[in-house]
Amino acid sequence: MQRRTAQDRQDRWEQWTQRPLLALTVVFALAYAVPIVDTSAGRPLTVACTSVEWAVWGTFAADYVVRLALTPERRRFVRTHWLDLCAVVLPLLQPLRLLRLVATLMLVGRRARMASQIRMTTYVVGAVVGLLMFGSLAVLSVERDSPEGNIRTLGDALWWSFTTMTTVGYGDHSPTTGLGRIIAVGLMLSGIALLGVVTANIAAWFIERFEKDDVEERAQTEAILALTEEVRALRREVAALQGGVRETSPPTIGRPSG
């Protein structure tokens, strides 16, 4: 009973914090994007945005700690939510903005998948848009100041991210730094994974639809066969009744001749 009560508290906490945490991801995205897009941003604005990024990450870290405290089986929680733990610890190992970005995306993805009302299609669309935007901003931040770089504007970064995620790769823009190439590898793997998810989702929909049609067709066939059998049984009963009437009816007496 106590374990059930603790699980209920954890479920209520996750349901209560779902929307605020998703709203914080929008705040994080703005704080991450402003210093990159606005090249004229001064140091106070950059420091403020960095503070917001750390605050959002800290909120997700606190959410992990609270969920760990509320769960009735802490060892099992850590073992099954190891990706959440990595996302919390990752920025502490090397405080880079890119690591905070990766950690926040990982935590957002885990919390979004835990929400049952968020459907797979919405999650995939959100993942595509998020990876496209964050990938563009990340590669622009590391490639814009590179002497040999050819990704100088946000438009170049968006075009590169789109061609990379779709595995087209025109080659007109490409990262030249080591960190930029790491981002490219991540986008390519993510694009392949999302493409596989979309393909599997569409295939599953068609299979489910075909199976549903087959079930309905089998049900109709069985109903027709059952109705046919009932008609045949009814005919046999009518024929038996007619035969019984003939056997029990008295013989016809002819009229006397005049």
Is residue 119 predicted with pLDDT exceeding 70?
Answer: no
Q: Place 152 in a pLDDT band, splitting at 50, 70 and 90.
A: confident
CA distance linking residue 224 with residue 236, whole number of Å: 18
* Boundary-marking domain end, from 202, 218, 239: 202
Residue 39 lies in a domain: yes
* Boundary-marking domain end, from 118, 143, 173: 118
Do residues 101 and 15 share a domain? yes
* Boundary-marking domain end, from 118, 136, 165: 118
Do residues 64 and 151 share a domain? no
CATH number of the domain where residue 184 is located: 1.10.287.70
List own/partner pairs for 157-165 with CB under 8 A and 24 or more apart: 158/132, 160/136, 161/131, 161/132, 161/135, 161/136, 161/187, 162/132, 164/135, 164/188, 164/191, 165/128, 165/131, 165/132, 165/135, 165/190, 165/191, 165/194
CA distance linking residue 143 with residue 180, whole number of Å: 7
Residue 192 lies in a domain: yes
> Hey, what are 37's tokens?
């897009």
Reported residue count of the chain is 258
Write down the pTM of the prediction.
Answer: 0.54
Is residue 80 predicted with pLDDT exceeding 60?
Answer: yes
Is residue 226 predicted with pLDDT exceeding 80?
Answer: yes
Do residues 6 and 107 share a domain? yes
Do residues 20 and 97 share a domain? yes
Do residues 77 and 16 share a domain? yes
Per-residue pLDDT, 95: 43
Between 162 and 206, the higher pLDDT residue:
162
201 φψ region: left (φ > 0), alpha (ψ -120 to 50), beta (else): alpha
Q: State the burial class of residue 213 (Cβ atoms within 10 Å of its Cβ: 0-12, 13-18, 19+).
A: exposed
Domain extent for 175: 120-202
Please tell me the total count of domains within the chain: 2
Between 33 and 253, the higher pLDDT residue:
33
Do residues 107 and 51 share a domain? yes
Per-residue pLDDT, 94: 44
> Hey, what are 228's tokens?
């046919």
